[in-house]
Amino acid sequence: MKKLLALLFTSILFFSLVACTTGNEGNEATDETEEAEDFTIGVIPSQTEGSMEAAMEELQTILTEKLGRTVKVDVYPDYNGVVEAMNYDKIDMAYFGPLTYVVAHANSGAKAIITQLIDGEPFYHSYIITHVDSPWTSLEELLTETEEVDFAFGDINSTSGSLIPSIELQDRGVFVSEDEHEFKTVRYTGSHDATALSIQNKQVTAGAIDSAIYNQLVESGKIDGEQIKIIWQSEPLFQYPWAVHADTDDETIEKLQAAFLGIKDPVVLDAFGASGFIEATDKDYESIRDAAIKEGIINE
């Protein structure tokens, strides 16, 4: 009987040890999985033409090395898709337009940490452009003949391609909405380069565009700058932010900022028309937030 009890006790002890060992191995596997979890970045489509694939692959490589974890960068089909991805915890970081950033900040607490430099400055403008053959040399002149103008905005969620110029036109009393205005027609092309090409090809009379992207399109030869003239520009706007999810820890933010500040790769910089990167904060986008509140896009 004693031998039987001893054998039973030994068996119970053996299986208990096996169970503990298996459980520890499972925890280690879980920890390893958590450590290896991908860091995902969503990027807005600032242009429709040309591939950003090589630049995004290079950016992934740089950030993967600096963060010590796999980084994946995906270009989304539209501005709103990136905001929704951040809202529903599908991405850890995003490259937003200023307007989409303040919307994401209001909805989910996204935090701006980096922006790009264009020719050494973290600013750009909204332009209104027209074909060189048009008779107008200023916005004031164009607005004296609004009934002759087919006007184009870019993406409806674009800061420079929609929000800022629409406010300017509202203040001048010629535009309320796509359906209520004094122009011959109003349309949304969906992107900055589509707007520029529409004007170059005389499909529209005038349109709004990001100044940095306009210059990039001219320099790359995608549009002929001699066929287009600028008739209005906005006040300076703070450049497009890279923003992290609200739950991102300080150590990760510091690593990301250091990684971006150190980027010298021309493939990555050229994809954004950038000369480098600089730290950014939410306060840099107060003027855009005020404009979004004025338009009823977000609440105070």
Residue 244: DSSP 8-state: E
What separation in angstroms does the CA of 61 have from each of 34, 56, 69, 248, 280? 20, 9, 10, 20, 23
pLDDT at 79: 87
pLDDT at 51: 55
pLDDT at 249: 96
pLDDT at 8: 42
Rounded to an integer, what distance in angstroms lies between the CA atom of residue 105 and that of residue 201? 38
Q: Which residues 6+ apart lie within 8 Å of 169 measured at CB?
A: 175, 181
Tokens of 247: 């739950």
pLDDT at 123: 96
Q: Which residues 6+ apart lie within 8 Å of 110 measured at CB?
A: 86, 94, 96, 101, 104, 243, 244, 245, 246
For each of the chain's 300 residues, which pLDDT tens digit applies?
444 444 444 444 444 444 444 444 444 444 443 455 899 999 987 654 445 788 899 999 999 999 999 999 998 888 889 999 999 999 999 999 999 999 999 999 999 999 999 989 999 999 999 999 999 999 999 999 999 999 999 999 999 999 999 999 999 999 999 999 999 999 999 999 999 999 999 999 999 999 999 999 999 899 999 999 999 999 999 999 999 999 999 999 999 999 999 999 999 998 888 999 999 999 999 999 999 999 999 998
In the chain, the domains with their CATH numbers are 39-117+240-294 (3.40.190.10), 126-234 (3.40.190.10)
| Alpha helices for the chain (secondary structure H) | 2-35, 53-67, 79-87, 98-108, 139-142, 164-171, 192-200, 211-220, 250-261, 266-271, 286-294
Tokens of 292: 């979004």
Number of H helices, E strands in the chain: 11, 15
Residue 46: DSSP 8-state: S
pLDDT at 174: 98
